[in-house]
Structure formats: structure tokens, C-alpha cells
Structure 1
């Protein structure tokens, strides 16, 4: 097989990646502008509450709903996961996380020395899906935090198994069951003064955009112990793309979109014209994995809030762009992780989807690429339904600024300007 990115870039002689392009189009300016509109009804800053959440408000927060969902999610064995309709999609998401984490650990070591001991905070760690990535990244210590107590217990078990099987020294770890958008988790850490080099929040930050105080608490947890020069990385939904796919310009009453494996539906109580900056709730369903409320993350607001906590945006990349960017360096790992489906299938294997529409993009490519003797290459791909779900997400990377040094430079600059102005005035006085 050959890997081909969008039918343009051949990466090896064995496999090609072909990605469906349908449905990925330019964003509507009207929809983008709707995010920027403000009105009294959705003025989150004006309505901000800085005191403790009262009992009535707690009942309306979705944190308990999310926690219950993940607490009740059954642990699936390897054999059962291989039979999943979204097996390749989940592996591709995992490959994306591997590339993000691997790249950022390499960057930190380039900047701080190859032998630096790295401390990590894994916000929304779930069952510990990234523990192996931290081991392979040779980090020193990991703080695992998640809202679901059952997930934390499963994360502990995975860590114990990892430690038992490992032939080398495994990183030390601690585990915190807490709502990271409402609690200061630094107070729960074994060492409250622990300096972090990296904070990772994979597929979880969107839960914090239920309200401004929650988003701020989440960012406070990110930034509080993160060292200057440290990084905050993550993945979250792309609110602009969600609004575009909703298609309300053409269908003003529409509140739902999706396909056979996922759906996004906005309840009637969520205003969409425009959506609020915080609390823009939608119900997200992904077959076998997710079925709970989430919130739109208006990225300019996210970026502005992050800057208040000394975090500067370094990278923001949609998943489909990230996949193409990382294919050249990550193709071997992509193969090992089985992140793509071979098409046509090998031997007696069947495609993961029985809907021919899911493979039209591949079939068209194969029809156009057959050589004179009728030979067709194998193609690595995702079904169209899986790709539509994958491409809802984006990658972000922030860097913690050295605010002390920054303020010092600002003071020095101000002092220099004042001295220069004073000298200029003195010269004028002498000349007069």
C-alpha cells in the first residue's frame, strides 16, 4: 500500500492515506461573526459570580452528569475494542495525542537540556489512556486528575500494571478525583509547591466552558504551578466548525447534525443567534464512548482568558491539518497503532462500515489510479463517518510566559524611555 494525503503526497511505497474532503469547507463569516456579538442576555463577564456556587446552581451544573457518565462507562477488553465500529477512529485520535505529547516533550528537552526531570499534570486523565505515553516520554512525575472517581481508580490500576510490567524505572504518580473546573487541585497535590513542566488536557477542556468562573478555575489549575517556559497542550472541539456544520444560514431552525456514529444536538434552551460565550451547551453522542453534555469553546475567548494566566498561544491546528503535517514523521507509529483501515480489505475481512457511501472517496481515488494492467494499490483511510467525527477537533499549544522577567523588561524599557526624554529636555534647555 501507499500513504497518500488528500491524493497529493506519496509518503512511502507501501501505503497511501486518502482522506475524505466532502463537508470540509470555508467557514461562513456570518457564523463566525455571530460568536463576536455581545448582548445583555449573554454578557458572561457582567453576570460573573466569584463567590462559591450555591446548592441550586450546583444542581444545574453538568459536572455530576459527566462524572456519572464516565463512572458508568464499561471497561472494554482488547478483543472487544477491535470489533468496535470506531476502532480506527479511536486509534487515530490516540496517534494524534502521541504525536502532540512526543513533540512537546522533545521541545522541552531541547530548551532545557536532554536530562531535565519533567513533571506533568494530566487534567481529565480518564482511565489513564496516556500513561504509556508518559512512560515512553521518560517523564519523572505525573499528577493524574479527573472528575470521575471510577476512572481514577481504573487509572491507578493501569499505573500499577504498568509499573509491574516495566523493566525500567517508571515515573512516580499521584491521583486526584476532582472537578478541575471548580476545585483548586494544587491544594490536593502531595507537594503543593511542585513545579510543572507540562500540563495536558485531552478531549476535556470543553467541559469547563459551562461558565466563566469554571473556565477561569480550569486555567488557574493549568497555570498555578506551571513553570515559566512550560507548556499547556490539549485537544478540544472546534466551535466554529460545529456552528458551520449546523447550517443555520440555510436551515434557521436546525439544531442537530451528525451521522451513523456521532451526533451534536443543541437543546432549545441554548440560544444560537448568537450562541453565548459560556454555557453554549450541546449534547454529544459518539457510539460506544460518549453520551453527555459539552460546551462550545469560543477560541478567541479561550485565548484571551489564557493570556490572563500568562499563557501565550503557540499553535492551533485542526485535526485534519495536523494529521497531514505529522504523517511523514509519524507514519511508522500510525501503522503500528492501526490508526487507518486498509481498503480494499485484506482477504476475507469486511470494511468496518457496511455503507458504501463511507468509502466513495477511496473508490473514486482507486478508480482514477489503476495502472494499465489493472493493479490497484491498497489505501489507508477512515470511513467518511469516522472522518466527520475526527475533524470536529483541534490541537492547541500554549506556553507559560515569564511574567516576572516580562514586567522587569517593561520597567527597564519605561525607565530607559524616561531617561531619554529627560536627556532630550536637557539638550533643549542648553540650546535655548
Structure 2
């Protein structure tokens, strides 16, 4: 892999993590949904898992158009639909029950189907980037999680990658004066407040490749409780630093294939510090237990 940006190893590492999660949690002939799918970077991973159908959801019409183009150019063997949806304010059911088109505001995204029922449930729901934007407040976060759960089959997985709020907040508290912040050779983080609010705790992340984004910390206990209220139970969450130690032996060949290991065949400490800002999450949908009836 060419070292095109200062954070090339971080990008390659995230690709490795996605590869493992999809290979472990997605089975052949399944229907998958990807939230905040962006421009559709994971087509090869879905193809290798031999999925039956793919639903890509995103708020950006331009990103969806690019994702659709990639899907067509690669002649992916699975059926696909790319649907414009504000996952934090709109309900998913309103956008996948019409097999001809899906409309949001003035824009229309056509379904791309090769058969199968438009009402099919998802075997898995993934989200590799963007869920942190939902945690601006309770209502937006709750709608996002409700969308993740509502069409997920019982026993199905909701999984992905999010910023690790514990790691980020811990690093930011090491400053001796001023607002919480983190300084590194590859990135910097600045907070607007000294208080870690459960929702709407914003921080600005600047990376050495020139990218600048504003995100929200995801208060993990609140995240778990929201998921639980929609029948999603935590299986595991692993900081990407620990993920390396747990999986490097079994997936060593994938490390090389994804371009993580080049040169000295190790991960640079500065890259690992950036990697440690993120965590995986895996939830499983369980049957809602009926309320006990007191017969006394």
C-alpha cells in the first residue's frame, strides 16, 4: 500500500478491522444494511462474504450516487439498494417499503434491485463511521438506534466502529490548564467544555492529512441503555489498540493484505495512538421478554 498520507497506517488498520468484523459476523446469503455508508468502500468485503442483498443508507445524495456507481462498475454479485435517509430524524420503515423509489424531500433515490422482497428484514446492521453525529441529543441518538433495531432479525448483529469516548476523554484530561485537549504528532483534539455531557459533548479533531471534523463523544453507558431499550444487548466492545493484540495472530495475513504491515513490519507508535481513539462495538438483537403478570 502506498504511503499517500501521514495517517496511511491508521487508514489501512481500520480497513483490517472492518475486514475481520465482516468476515466474523456476516454469513453467506444474508441481507445486510450499512448505516452512513458514504461512497461505498466495502463492496469487496461484502462480496467475499457472499451476501444476498445490501441496503446502503446515507444522508448524502452525492455519496449514494458514487456508491451506486462503484457497485455497478464492479458488477457485484449481490442485489443492492441505496437509500437517502436521515437516520437521526426519519424512520427506516418509511423508506424501504416501496420497491420503485424512495423519496426524501425534493430528492429521489431509485431502488436498485434484482429480486427479493422489499420488506425483508436485515440479518446484520453495520455502521463504520457517522454514528457519533447522532449523539448530539437523546432524540437523535434514540431514532438512530431504533432504526438499527427495528428491521434487524432476532439473533442478528448490530456492529461497527465508533470513537472510544473513554480513551479520548482520558487523554484529554492530562492537560494542566485550559479546556481538555489532546496533542499528538498526527492529530489534535480540542473540547469546547470541561464537562463530559451524556449527549452533545462536542470535540474538534484535526489530523495531519489536513482533515478537520467536529464529532460528539458517545457516552457508552447511555449508548448501551439506548440499545437495550430497543432489544439490542452488548456482546463486546474492544478498543482498536486491544483489537490488534487479540487478532494479530489469527489474522496476520490480512494485516499484510490490507497494507498495514510494510517496511519494518510493525505499527508506528504515533499511528497506534491515533488508532486507540476508536473502538469496535457488537450488539445482538434479543427477543423482548413479556412482562410478568401478577396473578395474586
Counterpart check, 1:226 vs 2:111: no
Task: Structure 1: give runs of 5+ residues left out of the alignment.
Answer: 1-77, 110-114, 344-379, 423-432
The 5-angstrom pairing of residues 50-199 of structure 1 reads 82-105=3-26, 109=27, 117-163=29-75, 170-189=77-96, 190=99, 193-199=119-125
Provide the secondary structure at the position in 2 that maps to 1:328.
coil
Question: How far is 1:239 from its partner?
Answer: 0.9
Counterpart check, 1:253 vs 2:165: no
Tell me if the contact between 2:158 and 2:284 (Cα under 8 Å) persists in the aligned partners. Answer: yes
Q: Which residue matches 1:384?
A: 269
Q: Which residue matches 1:214?
A: 140
Q: Which has the larger radius of gyration?
A: 1
Q: Which residue matches 2:189?
A: 264
Deviates more, 1:286-295 or 1:302-311: 286-295
C-alpha distance in structure 1 between counterparts of 2:210 and 2:24, whole Å: 27
Counterpart check, 1:275 vs 2:182: no
Question: How far is 1:257 from its partner?
Answer: 1.4
Tell me if the contact between 2:188 and 2:205 (Cα under 8 Å) persists in the aligned partners. Answer: yes
Q: Structure 1, residues 83-119: CA drift from partner, whole Å, max 9, x if none?
A: 22222221111001110111112xxx5xxxxx6x311
C-alpha distance in structure 1 between counterparts of 2:255 and 2:93, whole Å: 36
Question: How far is 1:194 from its partner?
Answer: 2.0
C-alpha distance in structure 1 between counterparts of 2:207 and 2:48, whole Å: 29
TM-score (norm 1): 0.61
Provide the secondary structure at the position in 2 that maps to 1:121.
strand
Tell me if the contact between 1:209 and 1:215 (Cα under 8 Å) persists in the aligned partners. Answer: yes
Tell me if the contact between 1:193 and 1:225 (Cα under 8 Å) persists in the aligned partners. Answer: no
The 5-angstrom pairing of residues 338-377 of structure 1 reads 338-343=259-264
Q: Which residue matches 2:249?
A: 328
Q: Structure 1, residues 268-313: CA drift from partner, whole Å, max 9, x if none?
A: xxx32x3211110111223447422100001011000100000000
C-alpha distance in structure 1 between counterparts of 2:283 and 2:249, whole Å: 24
C-alpha distance in structure 2 between counterparts of 1:229 and 1:260, whole Å: 42
Q: Which residue matches 2:106?
A: none
Task: Structure 2: give runs of 5+ residues left out of the alignment.
Answer: 100-116
Question: How far is 1:157 from its partner?
Answer: 1.2
Q: Structure 1, residues 167-213: CA drift from partner, whole Å, max 9, x if none?
A: xxx11011122321122233122466321110000022111101111
C-alpha distance in structure 2 between counterparts of 1:292 and 1:252, whole Å: 24
Count of matched residue pairs: 277
Alignment RMSD, CA only?
Answer: 2.0
Q: Which runs of 4+ in 1 moved over 4 A?
A: none
Q: 1:290 to 1:230 in 2, by over 3 A?
A: farther
C-alpha distance in structure 2 between counterparts of 1:149 and 1:264, whole Å: 30
Question: How far is 1:391 from its partner?
Answer: 0.7
C-alpha distance in structure 2 between counterparts of 1:182 and 1:263, whole Å: 31
Tell me if the contact between 1:235 and 1:394 (Cα under 8 Å) persists in the aligned partners. Answer: yes
Q: Which residue matches 2:218?
A: 297
Q: Structure 1, residues 47-104: CA drift from partner, whole Å, max 9, x if none?
A: xxxxxxxxxxxxxxxxxxxxxxxxxxxxxxx8xx642222222111100111011111
Q: Which residue matches 1:312?
A: 233
Tell me if the contact between 1:92 and 1:340 (Cα under 8 Å) persists in the aligned partners. Answer: no
Answer 1 or 2: which has greater strand percent: 2
Tell me if the contact between 2:173 and 2:181 (Cα under 8 Å) persists in the aligned partners. Answer: no
Q: 1:261 to 1:177 in 2, by over 3 A?
A: farther
Of residues 115, 126, 138, the one that matches 1:200 is 126
Question: How far is 1:161 from its partner?
Answer: 1.3
The 5-angstrom pairing of residues 401-420 of structure 1 reads 401-403=286-288, 406-407=289-290, 411=292
Answer 1 or 2: which has greater helix percent: 1
TM-score (norm 2): 0.87
Question: How far is 1:252 from its partner?
Answer: 4.1
Provide the secondary structure at the position in 2 that maps to 1:341.
coil
